[in-house]
Structure 1
Amino acid sequence: MSRVQANLLLIVIALIWGSAFVAQSHGMQHLGPMAFTGVRFLIGALMVAPLMWFEWRGLARKGRPLRRIDGAKIAGLGSLLLLGAAMQQIGIKSTTVTNAGFLTALYVPLVPVLGWLLWRHLPHWSVWPAALACLAGAFLLSGAERLTIGPGDLWVICSALPWAFHVVLVGRVADRMEAPFLVAGGQFAVCGLLALAWAMVYEPLSWAALEAAAWPLMYTGVMSVGVAFTAQVVAQRYAHAADAAIILSSETLFAALFGYYLMGDRLGPAGLLGCGLIFASMLAVQLIPALVMLHSSINSRLTQN
């Protein structure tokens, strides 16, 4: 898979996540945040299970079975996934969607910073202005004039750190193990089982509530987790983590579009400007490096001639 194909796949992932916003909102009317998180991630794990089995057998035939350290890495990714998803869901219950939309995007500038701190890996210079423009776009899109910081907002702010670590690590782990489906399904199972165990102890959980939230659970479990999160693992084997963070943040833009068509939401001038900034950021991280390389290649050929 080429870098361009990986980035296009990331855009599709962001579209799916944006479309799942309505389903998540409806599902939370019937279930607690940990119960909803646990069930939908277990549905996602079941979706990927056949691919996991084929990949496991393929690794065994090649004489490269997974080691304990590989299982520990997958469990670590699942724990990061749980922390990010759970804190975000808890925060959404006591804050506005407006605030949550902007505060979740705080992970975007964290990704290149973490990449530099952990591995001294400097991304292309275009990532830094694109990340700031993306953050500003999310701020405008969420309705900056209504932003206040409360307990729910703090939960969402805290969720940005595990989300950033997950984006930085997931492609790296999957690439080194050469087992994207085992990584994807394994982290779903860890996240789902831990969240559901917590919910069974601390949240009201009943069969009637699960039936009432069946369609939101199925949509988010199959599409948002089973399809989109698995595709993220595959795409990030070939895309730079900082680029991926910016492209995936367009989930906010797609959520606004689906809100426009499905819920009657309307954007003012600030919101439209925010959409434009996020879209421009997505284009910048893909086009600027390509144009710089093309310019260097042309100059090199002219010099040789």
Structure 2
Amino acid sequence: MKLQPWLARLMLLAAAAAWGAGYTFEKVALRRLSVQWIMGIRLVIAVAVLTPILWGKLKRSHMLSMLVPGLLLGVTYWAAFLLQMLGLRTIGPGRNSFLTATYCVLVPFLVWAVSRKRPAWRNFAAALLCIVGVGLISLSPDDSAVISLSSGDVLTLVGAVFYGGNIVLAGGLAKKFDATILTYYELLVAGVLFLVGAVLTEPMPQLADFQPQVLGSLIYLTLVSTLIAQNLQNIAFSQVPASQGSLILCTESLFGMVVSVLALGEELTAEHLAGFAIIFVAIVVSEVRFKSQAAPAETL
């Protein structure tokens, strides 16, 4: 699928908006359901919806050739979400969100490690700006300013590494395989892993847990956060380098805060506004190319 670069970037921004709004819906669903059941249900339903839509492509694709890419994307997707949520059990949500967002700093280095081609300096500068902006948006006044690493911090940081790895993999694989088929196998593998984990470690949901608000949240998380947003990301990465795309995806925290303010009445502070501005500057920096600069070797 050939896309104009501006359209691919717009698709990543739309995916970030969908995931940012998803935090509010996840919070509603978590009132009645556990993490792995929420993830397992939404991913399996998403795969069930995608199967008839992609049936023709699935029959034409070589399953064995998709096995390794699907496993790589699915396992990193599953591990990233699982570790982030495990970390969230012992640390505050603001701290958890801030530490998770370090993937936007990690991605240029992961790209460098995989491709042996250094991204442009502007990508490194933009990544650092982005993490500062995300920190201002995510950290609440109640979060401790003391620099220390708890077990929850470590789990969250390892989860961020898997998020970054998933983005780098998506960026490389989307240039070689059909992005929608990649998404299908990614969701299938992760969904199975979440359901197995839920059955083995978490209580079975009861019919009474599926209240109207919970059902509405699951519908949004399945259709928008999973089906639409994940496909938008994987398709867009066929045209956008991962080191740039990860910065656009960092706006997820911006959209998450805006939706939380509108839907849940969360307070918007001067720090939040400063964070929004810094993230915007980071994205602009990542896109600016100086004539004197040699063409950067960004292929992932």
Q: Same fold (TM over 0.5)?
A: yes
Q: 1:8 aligns with which of 10, 22, 28?
A: 10
Q: Which runs of 5+ in 1 are unaligned?
A: 297-305
**d(CA) in 2 for partners of 1:50, 1:114:** 35
Aligned positions of 1:170-249 closer than 5 A: 170-177=170-177, 179-208=178-207, 211-212=210-211, 213-249=214-250
**d(CA) in 2 for partners of 1:233, 1:67:** 19
Name the CA shift for 1:80/1:102 in 2 (closer, same or farther; >3 Å): same
Aligned positions of 1:250-269 closer than 5 A: 250-269=251-270
**d(CA) in 1 for partners of 2:227, 2:123:** 29
Question: How far has the Cα of 1:24 moved from its partner?
Answer: 0.6
Three-state SS of the structure 2 residue aligned to 1:94 is coil
Name the CA shift for 1:153/1:29 in 2 (closer, same or farther; >3 Å): farther
Q: 1:41 aligns with which of 40, 43, 55?
A: 43
Report whether the alignment pairs 1:72 with 2:72: no
Q: Which structure has greater helix proportion?
A: 1
Write the deviation string for residues 105-133 of structure 1: whole angstroms up to 9, x where unpaired: 11111100011111112222211110000
Point out the more displaced range, 130-139 or 140-149: 140-149
Report whether the alignment pairs 1:29 with 2:46: no
Is the 2:79–2:162 Cα contact (8 Å) retained in structure 1?
A: yes
Q: Which runs of 5+ in 2 are unaligned?
A: 295-300
**d(CA) in 2 for partners of 1:51, 1:129:** 41
Of all paired residues, the percent bearing the same amino acid is 24
**d(CA) in 2 for partners of 1:220, 1:262:** 16
Count of aligned residue pairs for this structure pair? 287
Question: How far has the Cα of 1:171 moved from its partner?
Answer: 2.6
Is the 1:77–1:187 Cα contact (8 Å) retained in structure 2?
A: yes
Name the CA shift for 1:113/1:294 in 2 (closer, same or farther; >3 Å): closer
Name the CA shift for 1:258/1:52 in 2 (closer, same or farther; >3 Å): same
Is the 1:143–1:270 Cα contact (8 Å) retained in structure 2?
A: no
Match of 1:160 in 2: 160
Three-state SS of the structure 2 residue aligned to 1:175 is coil
**Aligned residues: CA RMSD:** 2.1
Give the TM-score taking structure 1 as reference length.
0.88
Write the deviation string for residues 25-80 of structure 1: whole angstroms up to 9, x where unpaired: 111122222111111111222232234213234xx3xxxx4252421221121000
> Any runs of at least 4 consecutive aligned residues in structure 1 with deviations exceeding 4 A, and if so which?
293-296
Report whether the alignment pairs 1:123 with 2:116: no
Match of 1:17 in 2: 19
Give the TM-score taking structure 2 as reference length.
0.89
Is the 1:55–1:181 Cα contact (8 Å) retained in structure 2?
A: no
